Amino acid sequence: MNFLAHCALAQDASDCWDNGNALRDGLLAGAILADFGKGPIASHLPLDLQAGIRLHRRIDAFTNQHDLIRDTCASFPPELRRYAPIFLDILGDYYLSRTWGDYYAEARPDFSQRCYYACATYAGYLGETKAPQLHKFMQYMRSTDLLANYDDWEHVERGLHSVLRRLGRTSLYEAVNIAADAQRDSGEHAFRLYFADLRDQLPAWATLATAVS
C-alpha cells in the first residue's frame, strides 16, 4: 500500500476502533510519516501517532504475505521482480483513486487536505534528522495535491521513476513503464480483492491502539 491507501485504511480504522475519533489525526499522520522513520517506535511520540505507525507497519506486513500480491509480483519481468512490491504500492493508489467512490463518500480533495493537516501537525515529532527530507516531500505532496490526483497516470510514472532513481536503476525506466502499463487495467481486480481483505482485518487490529486507551 502506498500513501493514499494507507491513509484510507487509517480512516477506516478510526471509524471502527473504540475511541477512533480521538485517534484519527494520529492514525492519518502515521499512515504517511511511518515511511520516514525505521526501527523501534520512539516512546516520546504522541500515543495516537504511535498507533498510526504501528498500523502502517501491520498493513505492510500483511500485504507482503498476501498471495494475490505475491502472484502479481511474479507476473513482472524477471529484472523487475525484486522491486515489484514497491511498484504495486504505487499502482494500488492509482486503482484506489479510480475507484474511490466505491468505498468512500468523502471527496478525495477534502480527504487529502485532512491528511496533509494531520501530517503537518505531527511532523515535528520525527526530529531534525528527518526534517529536510520530510519537508521536501510534504511540499511536493501539497503542491501537486498528490493524494487527490493518483488517478493521473503521470503521478504513477513519476513515482515509479523516483523509486528507480533511489535504487540507482534508472536503466530500467523503459522496462518498468511497459510493465506498469500492462498492469494498468488488469491489476485492478486483484487490488479490489486484497484491499477488501485489508479492510476486513482492521477490527482485529484494534489492539494496536491499546496503549492509547
Q: Which residue ranges make up each domain of the chain?
A: 3-206
pLDDT confidence of residue 129: 57
For the segment 37-54, the average pLDDT, to the nearest whole number, is: 90
For the segment 115-131, the average pLDDT, to the nearest whole number, is: 83
Contact yes or no for 37/99 (Cβ under 8 A): no
Q: What is the mean pLDDT of the chain?
A: 91
The span from the CA of 190 to the CA of 172, in Å, is 25
The span from the CA of 68 to the CA of 85, in Å, is 11
Q: Is the whole model's pTM more than 0.85, yes or no?
A: yes
